[in-house]
Chains A and B, each alone.
Chain A
Amino acid sequence: MPTITTIDPVTRLEGHLKIQVTVDTVNGVQQVVDAKATGTLFRGFENILLNRHPFDAQHITQRICGVCPVSHGMAAVMALDAVCGVTAPTNARIMRNLVLGANLVDSHILHFYHLSAPDFIDGPNMPPWQPSWSVDKRFNTTQTTSLVNNYVTALNMRRMAHEAGAIFGGRLPHPPTYIAGGFTTRPTSAGITKFKGLMNQVIDFIQNTYIPDAQALAATYADYNQIGRGYGNLLAYGCFDLNSSGSSKLLQRGQVANGSTAVQAVNLQSITEHMTYSWYKSPLTMISLDEMMIPMPVSQNPAVAVTNPVDPATKKKAYSWLKAPRYGGLPYEAGPLARMWVNGDYRAGISVMDRHLARAAEALKVAQGMVAWVDGLNPSGAVSVTANIPASTSIPSTNPNVPPTTTSFSAIGLTEAPRGALGHWLQITNGKISRYQIVTPTCWNASPRDDSGKRGPMEEALIGTPVQDLQQPVEVVRVIHSFDPCLSCAVHVMRPDAGKKIFTLAHYHGGEELHSHDHNHTHHGHEHHQHQDHDHSLD
């Protein structure tokens, strides 16, 4: 008799991803036989961009996501460069890469030590290690102590990576320095020297601590080299342009089907969004079947896709606020493993541990790239060129009853967030943003079923995962976390604890005793956040 277990939420990052797995015993092994990934909140951030000046895009989109704001800034300026027909100077290309790289390295270290390790390590009796599940902790005391110590060191390494990024990015976490046509800061010799000093320490940590720890994890949990494969379809937009045209990148663009080593080109027209299982109105087309015309859902390219949310009660089949992006009609996994596989840097396998190992190897590759690129900066060179939004023209209609049409300009900004391929589809009309669509890596990975009923990549990766203890399905969580899913936080409102004292500032005068208000919100007693029913962004 299958049992359905729901795990909610499964991201340690803010936001909600709910996974429902059906567990049954097949051939004597209790395992996952079905899975549904639900993005629980509607994301409507793109609508804020409509009718705004296009140059607002990099500032606004950076605020969508609290985890990889830099990647959104990068995608936005790439789209803007393209639509304005400008090429950023070498200094700008390099500094954009350095700040993006710092964010990626920072994020990978965070993912391993601070978000994934607690699934495997029996940590000290304090948050964030406790409370935790008690099952399947395989490291001995010496190994555990070492990993917990490295966890603390990793905090310091993240700080260094972050500081390195801030040398050029200015204010982080939301660098204001990414602009259409270039970058706003000017490199200095002192900054270059400081940057190398910081990154060399981070490289040392990745080489001598992070990678060995990831290898130890893969050796101790060797069964996870077989668990969590999924379809094996991998997609990378690529990033870190090494020349001004972007034809050469540190991490190349490409895609492979079913774990093949034959890398294929990415045709952007092959990307479509399916909505049959999502709470959006699916566009329909009439097809002829046995001489009857029947409506069939059609998927759309992000350049033309519409987002019309529906009341979930009216679309029973659907179960997610995520659309299902597909490449050539098939589910594709995005992320460090996809990038490193496409690049030919990592092809040991596709599994939970392969995702961790590829992520660690990528952190090193990118960090080493960064210390090499920084030498290409020229403190006296240009950092930006003027970018102008193309002007729309009005084309009169030959039919007096039809109003004139206005020309629009479209462009796509493709880059990589730490957790996978990120795309911004931009359209400008009359100098204003007339369309903005963002397809995030977690949309690829955590997507629901598509029009043909195929599961999303993460759903598929869960199938066959053994589950020892239904009350503590840690195996399921390990598979999900290997994708580094991020459902970025949106609403952040704090709530008073039940019966706790909160002071209003009206009574808050220096040194005086404060008045208190007792609150007893028992129905909310265990929420830190309020999540409204209508907002969400996925990264």
Chain B
Amino acid sequence: MPGKSSPPRILIAGLGNLLLMDDGVGVHAVQELQNDPPAGAVVAEVGTAVLNALHLLEWADKILAIDAMQAGGAPGTVYAFGTEDVAQGGIQTSLHELNFLAALDFLKVKAQPEIIIFGVEPARIDYGLELTPAVAAALPALTAAAREQVRRWRGEK
């Protein structure tokens, strides 16, 4: 864990399945960001391979996760929230599914990073590689907000 003077280790993680249209919005967003990565952040396509990204989640002390989020808004609506606001599964027995949030539970054995999630309301989740127009139209605002968040974390704001 770096001291207060060290710059924060920032991870932007794109979540979701690229093969399921709007479910892949987080992956599309990080692919955009990777064309011109924000200074001081690691931009990673995590997709659905959350377990294979544990090392990154563990490394970071600030995580911006981008994913599809069904909150009832119009398709393309972008939401920002913390992990405490996302529904936790009713963990039955010891058999929880290991999604992003459960992966973070693994890390609770160690240090817990600060996490902000940007969610995008999907219009359609079905087999396909393309985003729907409503969600694609949200990408510029989404990536701009991600860059702004990185700047804020780096104290450049």
Contacts and interface: CB of A to CB of B under 8 A. Distances in A.
Q: Do A and B bind each other?
A: yes
Interface of A: 7, 9-15, 44-45, 47-48, 60, 63-67, 69, 103, 106, 110, 114-115, 118-119, 124, 126-129, 131-133, 148, 151-152, 155, 158-159, 162-163, 171-174, 472, 474, 477, 488-498, 500-506, 508, 510-511, 514, 517, 519, 521, 524-530, 532, 534-535
Given A45-B127, A501-B81, A510-B157, A13 B51 contact: yes
Interface string B101-143: 1100111111000000111001001111100000000000110
Given A492-B16, A494-B67, A505-B141, A173 B91 contact: no
Nearest to A132: B94
The main secondary structure of chain A at its interface with chain B is loop
Interface in B52-89: 52-55, 58, 67-73, 77-81, 84-89
Given A69-B52, A503-B80, A495 B97 contact: no
B12 interface: no
Nearest to B117: A494
Given A493-B70, A503-B79, A510-B148, A133 B94 contact: yes
Contacts of B55: 158-159, 162-163
Interface of B: 15-20, 23, 44-55, 58, 67-73, 77-81, 84-91, 93-102, 105-110, 117-119, 122, 125-129, 141-142, 145, 148, 152, 157
Contacts of A493: 16, 23, 67-70, 122, 125
Nearest to A163: B55
A505 B71 contact: no
Nearest to A117: B94
B15 to A, nearest CB: 6
Given A48-B127, A492-B68, A494-B119, A67 B89 contact: no
A502 B81 contact: yes
B49 A66 contact: yes
B54 A158 contact: yes
A529 B99 contact: yes
Contact of B86 (A15, A494, A511): A494
- Per CB-CB distance, the 4 closest pairs between chain A and chain B, nearest first, are A66-B48, A173-B52, A173-B49, A159-B55
Contacts of B19: 45, 48, 60, 63-64, 490
Contact of A13 (B81, B98, B122): B98
Given A173-B52, A174-B49, A489-B99, A472 B93 contact: yes
Contacts of B98: 12-14, 115
Contacts of B142: 505
A535 B20 contact: yes
B89 A526 contact: yes
A500 B89 CA distance: 14
Given A14-B98, A126-B108, A128-B102, A497 B69 contact: no
A133 B93 contact: yes
B70 A503 contact: no
